[in-house]
Structure 1
């Protein structure tokens, strides 16, 4: 039994759970034996945590979220916010293998988001309302996914991608792209996102030029390979190496 005045008397905590002394837990939450919650975290009401879960510092989880199942393994990075009714790894995977779910730091998951087995999020991602990431989806850092979207299983979303609302993503998406639609297609570069992260304007112009060469008239992996060999710009290398190894055709 954990003695913590910040934990509501109605909370159920199984023996074996590790909860930092300053963690705040609201009414009617259920915390499983394999859960570790570090300092500065806040859980609102009616939250269920099951399986092996590590929640790093200063995470906030809002009411009615369900995270984990009896066989899941989940990591949630520091300063991540998880809004109401979100479900993370709450269902068994279809093939019976519960792959680890990794959520980086400073992420914002809005209401009714669903993350399946094997999902990985980099840092500073924003997953908006009612988005579903199916099994083994990987999102690199600073990805934004618009509401009501679905990313189908086994796809990877590159850094700085913005996905428009109500999109269905069926392939890998290279870094810095703007995509939307059902099924989602690349509409161009996420220029606003690039301006926020790339200080040198010449780098942005170079990314624009390379984008036209390797993606302007369809995916050209041969051209991407040639550019990767000759360019030293880190953003160009990131873009072209992703395209070469992607499932894009």
Structure 2
């Protein structure tokens, strides 16, 4: 299962059925779980832990040290969950001791060609990073978020669950859960209605989220007053509570 022209460090721990293509380099302190397929010309450096069922395509660099100038070769980590697809030329860097010391990717994500995930970032589950998406360090991407091609995300930004970004979006503030943003700089446009329908959200939940969006973005209220109104009118809808929580969790301010 390991091609004769692959280079695998003796200390790397690979499950018995892992496939490794030619001219791939797997360094020390790398662990790869069952059912993974690593194509040719991939570089994986450690400390890195990769779960089961992942498919990493050619010319990707996974677990490289960050270029952050504060980094001094400390033993930081990359942890990848299960069943992720990492397409061609993706770059994923390990963490820094100034933050979590770990970059984390969950399960069932699609990371498309030329995407970059910077140090200490956290990707949830079922997210999609479309071609050339770039995340600076310390970025958090929630479950089911979709970042369209050429999306750029500033360091320390949070992208909420089920959020959607348009092509070429430049994000410098947090994007609340369920919200669609686009533009450079990013502006909030609407609730991600089509995405929610595809994932089985009820018509009532979507309707309440649309009402919530109007309260936050269309009534000219301060953010604190908008949150108070949401909590008074709509917080009994669990989906709206997720929106409220994502706004309250913002440290950089939200895209408006």
TM-score (norm 2): 0.88
Which residue in 2 is equivalent to 1:239? 243
Q: Does 1:26 align with 2:21?
A: yes
Q: Deviations over 1:53-76 (max 9, x none)?
A: 111111000001001135441111
Alpha-carbon offset, residue 32 of structure 1: 1.2
Q: Distance in 1 between matches of 2:201 and 2:214?
A: 21
Q: Once structures 1 and 2 are overlaid, which stretch shifts more, 69-78 or 142-151? A: 69-78
Q: Does 1:227 align with 2:230?
A: yes
Q: Deviations over 1:99-122 (max 9, x none)?
A: 311111110011111111011111
Q: Once structures 1 and 2 are overlaid, which stretch shifts more, 222-231 or 42-51? A: 222-231
Alpha-carbon RMSD across the aligned residues, in angstroms, is 1.9
When residues 168 and 122 of structure 1 are mapped into structure 2, their CA distance, relative to the original with a 3 A threshold, is: same
Q: Deviations over 1:140-159 (max 9, x none)?
A: 00011111111010000001
State the SS of the aligned residue for 2:143.
coil
Q: Aligned ranges for residues 124-203 of structure 1 at < 5 Å?
A: 124-203=126-205
Which residue in 2 is equivalent to 1:78? 82
State the SS of the aligned residue for 2:64.
coil
What number of residue pairs does the alignment pair up?
242
Which residue in 1 is equivalent to 2:39? 44
Alpha-carbon offset, residue 200 of structure 1: 2.1
- 5+ residue gaps, structure 1: 1-5
Alpha-carbon offset, residue 229 of structure 1: 5.9
The answer on whether the counterparts of 1:198 and 1:204 sit within 8 Å (CA) in structure 2 is no
Q: Distance in 1 between matches of 2:18 and 2:155?
A: 35
Pick aligned residue for 1:9 from 1, 4, 21: 4
